[in-house]
Amino acid sequence: MSASDVQSIPTIPFPDQRPGTSGLRKKTRVFMQPHYLENFVQAIFDTVREEPGVDFARETLVIGGDGRYYNRPAIQRLVRLAAANGFGRVLVGCSGLLSTPAMSAVIRRHGALGGLILSASHNPGGLDADFGVKYNIRNGGPAPETLTERIYLRTLALTHYVTLTHPDLDLEHCVQHRVGSTEVVIFDPLADYTALMEELFDFEAVRQLFRRGFRMCFDAMHGVTGPYAQALLEQRLGAPVGTVIRGTPLEDFGGTHPDPNLVHAAELVARLHAPDAPDFGAACDGDGDRNLILGRQCFVSPGDSLAIIAEYAPHCIPGYRAGLAGVARSMPTSTAVDRVAAARDLPCYETPTGWKFFGNLLDAGLCTLCGEESFGTGSNHLREKDGLWAVLCWLSLLATTGKSVAEVLQTHWQRFGRSYFQRHDYEALDAQAATDMITALRDKLPTLVDTDLAGSRVTHADDFSYTDPVDGSVSTHQGLRILLADGSRLVCRLSGTGTEGATLRLYVECYRRNGGQDAVDAVLAPLVQVAVRLLELRERCGREAATVVT
Ligand code: VG1
Ligand code: CO
């Protein structure tokens, strides 16, 4: 490529390119404005290029997305941008597809510098819905906060980006191209990920489970996991064809919200409650990093799922036979896993919301498993949460124990007690009113300590702050929490992934020692009432009821 092929395009900064909990998420039309995508990604390149020892000409960049609207055109533009910025090699998932966990696997297995994931994850897709870009670093995980802050500062100072003239590439075939002096490889997005799963799990044990007539339904929600699930479950593990439903990635996810929870995966939930229900149900979100686990007539809360995987993994999954170094969960996630860790004498870490906080712990070998209440579970096999991995964990433990999902839950609750848990989301609140509401409660926290609340006593109330045990970085304002003497907890924070107004997340947890047979709503209602009152939710935001309860 001669230098003259590279064009330097003058631009002006967009003031709103600060990444949130997981990358930069905006309305699709915002991303489609001239220069918007290029500005953000040029800022990423400029920031990463400054790191010691980085020479783009010797580096590989991985690009892929969840298949949502604007995925392909965005990839074409980013390939030209990456080539003009001088990357030696760019790997692009065939058809523009790559799940978030597969991205993490590809970066790690190919020694790439990093990767760009085009996804707004569980947010809906389409011209009038959401789009997003996440940058993952060399360890395969999301860029840590220190890096995303530097990227944001760079977006504010940007005056130019570089690109070049080149026709759109054929993304539909696994071939190699040359764009400028960059080698662009269109690769099979399934290969590395499925190979990794085969290294971790005993596929033969799961095959025998299906051979014994075990029935499963997997809902890919028209996100990126469909092809992965078909390859793994139906082709490799012998589940009957048709086990995977909604398996074709669609630009608008079939008009639904690709969020695997009790509300948005209602069709799957109904199937698991039908008289002829399969033994096991599961779903993943748009970009494949979240998981929903269901049994016949039962739902496994994500906090319980993490605890149960921690309990069984060393016995049921070859990849964890050596035992666990420790476990980690985000602060709002239920404390169920803490009790498994205590019983096993394992360290248990509590991090802020967002997978980026697990990266250092995993890299340093301090923990093996991690999870979030938002249907995210994962391990040291990658640096992202991993939906299908969680499904394979459950299949493995069901195959080894011969128990049903309900029996596994019962046994767990009998041994450890049960953390009743719910998250109540109040979406599209007025942003200023929501911020003021959180500030007001924060100011009130010190006065709550030692007062009576929801039939117990407040032992601790603070605005959660986290000091990373590996690099010492401090993250403040990570959520308000009120801890009660009986083990109950109230947590609230504002979402960092929404694209419209503000979303309040209210998390309630109540611990009971007695076997876990009570009705979740009834157990948690008093805590929800207290939270709504403390927040003055009705008065300040005019809301009576949550938008989504999971
Ligand atoms: C939400 C979840 C958080 C998760 C994040 C990204 O963030 O609460 O646990 O890590 O989404 O998940 P927030 O700030 O909106 O609460 V994914 O699957 O959307 O990338
Ligand atoms: Co996701």
Which residues surround the ion ligand 2 when the cut-off is CB under 5 Å? 121, 285, 287, 289-290
* Cα distance between residue 33 and residue 491, in whole Å: 37
| Ligand whose nearest atom lies closest to the CA of 225 | 2
pLDDT at 348 over 70: yes
Confidence grade of residue 499 (pLDDT, cut at 50, 70, 90) = confident
pLDDT, mean of residues 457-485: 96
Q: Catalytic site residue 104?
A: no
316 neighbors 206 (Cβ within 8 angstroms): no
* Cα distance between residue 83 and residue 6, in whole Å: 9
> pTM (2 decimals)?
0.95
DSSP state of 49: H
Ligand 2 centroid to Cα of residue 289, in Å, is: 5
pLDDT at 1 over 70: no
As given in the structure block, the two tokens for residue 330 are 């985000």
Q: Which region holds residue 150: left if phi is over 0, alpha if psi is between -120 and 50, else beta?
A: alpha
- Smallest CA-to-CA distance from 66 within 250, 192, 219, 246 is with 250
As given in the structure block, the two tokens for residue 480 are 């308000």
As given in the structure block, the two tokens for residue 190 are 């399934």
Torsion of Cα atoms, 49 then 50 then 54 then 55, to 10°: 60
pLDDT, mean of residues 33-45: 98
Q: How many CB atoms lie within 10 A of CB 14?
A: 17
Give the pLDDT confidence score for residue 532 in this predicted structure.
95
Compute the mean pLDDT over every residue in the chain, rounded to the nearest whole number.
96
- Which H or E element spans position 20? none
pLDDT at 198 over 70: yes
- Which H or E element spans position 540? helix 537-541
Whole-number percent of the chain with pLDDT over 70: 99
In terms of Cβ atoms closer than 10 Å to its own Cβ (0-12, 13-18, 19+), residue 549 is middle
Pocket-forming residues, ligand 1, beta carbon under 6 Å: 21-22, 121-122, 285, 289-290, 330, 353-355, 372, 374, 376, 495-497, 505
244 neighbors 237 (Cβ within 8 angstroms): no
Ligand 1 centroid to Cα of residue 21, in Å, is: 6
Confidence grade of residue 500 (pLDDT, cut at 50, 70, 90) = confident
pLDDT, mean of residues 214-224: 98
Q: Residue 197 in 3-state DSSP?
A: helix
Mapping DSSP onto H, E and C, the string for 226-269 reads HHHHHHHHHHHCCCCCCCEECCCCCCCHHHCCCCCCCCCCHHHH
Ligand 2 centroid to Cα of residue 371, in Å, is: 13
* Cα distance between residue 377 and residue 356, in whole Å: 13
User: In the beta sheet, which residues pair with residue 467?
Assistant: 474
As given in the structure block, the two tokens for residue 211 are 């051979």
What are the strands, taking DSSP E only, across 264-331?
280-284, 291-295, 298-300, 327-330
Give the pLDDT confidence score for residue 154 in this predicted structure.
98
Question: Count of H helices and E strands in the chain?
Answer: 17, 27
Atom 16 (ligand 1): residue with closest C-alpha?
A: 495
Give the pLDDT confidence score for residue 21 in this predicted structure.
85
353 neighbors 326 (Cβ within 8 angstroms): no
| Ligand whose nearest atom lies closest to the CA of 142 | 1
* Cα distance between residue 439 and residue 140, in whole Å: 35
Give the pLDDT confidence score for residue 328 in this predicted structure.
98
Confidence grade of residue 427 (pLDDT, cut at 50, 70, 90) = very high
The dihedral built from the CA positions of residue 528, 533, 539 and 541, taken in this order, carries a sign that is negative
Atom 1 (ligand 1): residue with closest C-alpha?
A: 497
DSSP state of 290: B
* Cα distance between residue 500 and residue 497, in whole Å: 9
As given in the structure block, the two tokens for residue 185 are 């490889």
- Which H or E element spans position 217? strand 216-219
- Smallest CA-to-CA distance from 243 within 234, 235, 251, 252 is with 234
Q: Residue 164 in 3-state DSSP?
A: strand
pLDDT tens column, 44-96: 999 999 999 999 999 999 999 999 999 999 999 999 999 999 999 999 999 99
Catalytic residue among 95, 99, 104, 121: 121
pLDDT tens column, 220-276: 999 999 999 999 999 999 999 999 999 999 999 999 999 999 999 999 999 999 999
pLDDT tens column, 296-345: 999 999 999 999 999 999 999 999 999 999 999 999 999 999 999 999 99
* Cα distance between residue 232 and residue 198, in whole Å: 9
In terms of Cβ atoms closer than 10 Å to its own Cβ (0-12, 13-18, 19+), residue 429 is buried
Ligand 2 centroid to Cα of residue 365, in Å, is: 24
Give the pLDDT confidence score for residue 286 in this predicted structure.
97
pLDDT tens column, 383-405: 999 999 999 999 999 999 999 99
Q: Which region holds residue 450: left if phi is over 0, alpha if psi is between -120 and 50, else beta?
A: left
Task: Characterize the bridge pairing of strands 60-65 and 89-97.
Answer: parallel
Confidence grade of residue 183 (pLDDT, cut at 50, 70, 90) = very high
Give the pLDDT confidence score for residue 2 in this predicted structure.
52
State phi, psi for 253 to the nearest 5 degrees.
Answer: 55, 35
| Ligand whose nearest atom lies closest to the CA of 134 | 1
CA distances (Å), origin 357, targets 23, 144, 328, 379, 491: 13, 7, 10, 13, 18
Ligand 1 centroid to Cα of residue 206, in Å, is: 30
Atom 19 (ligand 1): residue with closest C-alpha?
A: 121
User: In the beta sheet, which residues pair with residue 463?
Assistant: 480
Q: How many CB atoms lie within 10 A of CB 207?
A: 15
pLDDT, mean of residues 430-452: 96
For residue 496, the ligand 1 atom closest to its alpha carbon is 14
The dihedral built from the CA positions of residue 320, 321, 325 and 329, taken in this order, carries a sign that is positive
pLDDT tens column, 115-145: 999 999 999 999 999 999 999 999 999 999 8
pLDDT tens column, 149-180: 999 999 999 999 999 999 999 999 999 999 99
